Structure 1
Amino acid sequence: MKVDIIISADDIKSEKVKDKLVVVIDMLRATSVITTAVSNGCEKVIPVLTVEEAKEIASRDRSSFLLGGERGALKIEGFDYSNSPLDYTSEVVKGKTLIMTTSNGTRAIKGSLGAKHILIGAMINAEAVAKKLLEYKDDVVIVNAGTYGQFSIDDFLCSGYIIDCLKRHTEVELTDIATTAHYIYSQHEDIYSFIKFASHYNRIQELGLQEDLNYCCKKDITKVVPEYAEGVIK
């Protein structure tokens, strides 16, 4: 199994993901939100690129559609919920459809169209993601959402952990960047000793969202692996 990494949504090239097995990571916080919502009984998540599109889709059925997401890490005006995974309890999402737009994560998902499979990964489901990748037995491209088109330490560290999970079960052939991600994780298995340098981590901390950070940095608290196909995540 070969494993490569794309460092941000802006760096996705169609030929890099076409017919590949892709894992999209935006651990702070979009893919943590998606994984949590699905784990808590959300029927499906529809990721979109713009606020306007999200509102238009949600207006079709406000009784069963929820609006969630962020701009600048803050809740969008007129939306039901923010980009905090703690918002998406079973009481809120069970049986509902979440319409979601974020600054980085939903862009990375949409940018990965053309892949054979698109899995949603985060720290909270990393081991389960690795096991699902082993089932498919294809070469893997891990897409880091990044932060506003730039490399992001948090997603890179999460990539390293998923690679570490894979290496426990199979032989993997890593590109240079994938080797680097795994090495960094191996030196910082506690997560916090390195993720504290991430600009996005510090932005969320500045907003007083420490509980979100604590939650998103937990390893393997769910075995759910959401998958994006035909416009929806289930």
Structure 2
Amino acid sequence: MKVDIIISADDIKEKKIFNKSVVVIDILRATSVIVTAIDNGCKKVIPVLTVDEAVKIAEKDRKTYMLGGERDALKIQGFDFSNSPLEYNKEKVKGKTLVMTTTNGTRAIKASSKAKNIIIGAMINARAVTKKLIELGDDVVIVNSGTNGEFSIDDFLCSGYIISILKRECEVNLSDIATTALYIYENNKDIKSFIKYANHYKKIEELGLHEDLEYCCQKDIIDSVPECRDGIITRK
């Protein structure tokens, strides 16, 4: 199994992901939200690029369609939820459809549409993601959503964690950047001690969202592996 990494949503190219299984990561916080919502019974998640598109879809049925997401880490005016995974509990999301737009994560998901498989990953479901990748048996590209088109420490460290599990479970052929992610993770297994240097981590901390940070940095607390097909994310 070949394993490669793309460092931001802006760096996704069709030739890099074609016929491969892609894992989209945005641990702070879009993919952590998606994994949590799906695990808590959300029927499906529809990722979109713009606020207007999200509102138009949700207007079809506001009883069953929820609006969630952020711009610059803040809740979008008129939306039901922000980008905090802690808001997406069973009582609020079970049986509902989430229409979601975020600064980085949903862009990365949409830009990965030409991949053979699109899996939604985070620290909180990393081990389950690796199990799914081994079942699929394809070459893998881990897409880091990044921050505003730039490299992000938090997503890169999560990539390293996923690679570390894959390496223990199957034979892997790592690209140079994948090898670098593995090395950084193996030397920073107490992930918060390193993630705290990420600019996006600092921004969320400045907003006082400490519980979000604690939650998103946990390893393997969820077994759900959401997958995106034809623009819709469900639990397969």
> Which residue matches 1:61?
61
**How far does residue 148 in structure 1 lie from its aligned partner after superposition?**
0.2
Aligned length: 234
> Which residue matches 2:185?
185
> Which residue matches 1:225?
225
> Which residue matches 1:144?
144
Matched, 1:80 2:75: no
User: Runs of 5+ in structure 2 lacking a partner?
Assistant: none
**How far does residue 129 in structure 1 lie from its aligned partner after superposition?**
0.2
Structure 1 stretches (4+) deviating beyond 3 angstroms?
Answer: none
**How far does residue 41 in structure 1 lie from its aligned partner after superposition?**
0.2
Q: Aligned partners of 1:148, 1:66: CA distance in 2, in Å?
A: 25
**How far does residue 168 in structure 1 lie from its aligned partner after superposition?**
1.2
Cα deviation digits, residues 149-178 of structure 1 (max 9, x gap): 000000000000000110110111100000
- 1:157 alignment partner AA: L
> Which residue matches 2:104?
104
**How far does residue 18 in structure 1 lie from its aligned partner after superposition?**
1.1
TM-score by length of 2: 0.99
- 2:126 alignment partner AA: A
**How far does residue 19 in structure 1 lie from its aligned partner after superposition?**
1.3
Q: Aligned partners of 2:25, 2:231: CA distance in 1, in Å?
A: 18
**CA RMSD in angstroms, aligned pairs only:** 0.4
TM-score by length of 1: 1.00
> Which residue matches 1:27?
27
**How far does residue 193 in structure 1 lie from its aligned partner after superposition?**
1.2
Q: Aligned partners of 1:152, 1:49: CA distance in 2, in Å?
A: 20
Q: Aligned partners of 1:146, 1:176: CA distance in 2, in Å?
A: 18
User: Runs of 5+ in structure 1 lacking a partner?
Assistant: none
**How far does residue 147 in structure 1 lie from its aligned partner after superposition?**
0.2
> Which residue matches 2:161?
161
Cα deviation digits, residues 183-222 of structure 1 (max 9, x gap): 0000011101110110000000000000000000000001
> Which residue matches 1:48?
48
Q: Aligned partners of 2:20, 2:40: CA distance in 1, in Å?
A: 28
- 1:36 alignment partner AA: T
What SS is found at the alignment partner of 2:169? coil
Q: Aligned partners of 1:15, 1:88: CA distance in 2, in Å?
A: 35
- Percent pairwise identity: 70
Q: Aligned partners of 2:110, 2:81: CA distance in 1, in Å?
A: 21
Q: Aligned partners of 2:6, 2:101: CA distance in 1, in Å?
A: 21
Cα deviation digits, residues 60-93 of structure 1 (max 9, x gap): 1000000000000000001000000000000000
**How far does residue 107 in structure 1 lie from its aligned partner after superposition?**
0.2
Cα deviation digits, residues 116-158 of structure 1 (max 9, x gap): 0000000000000000000011100000000000000000000
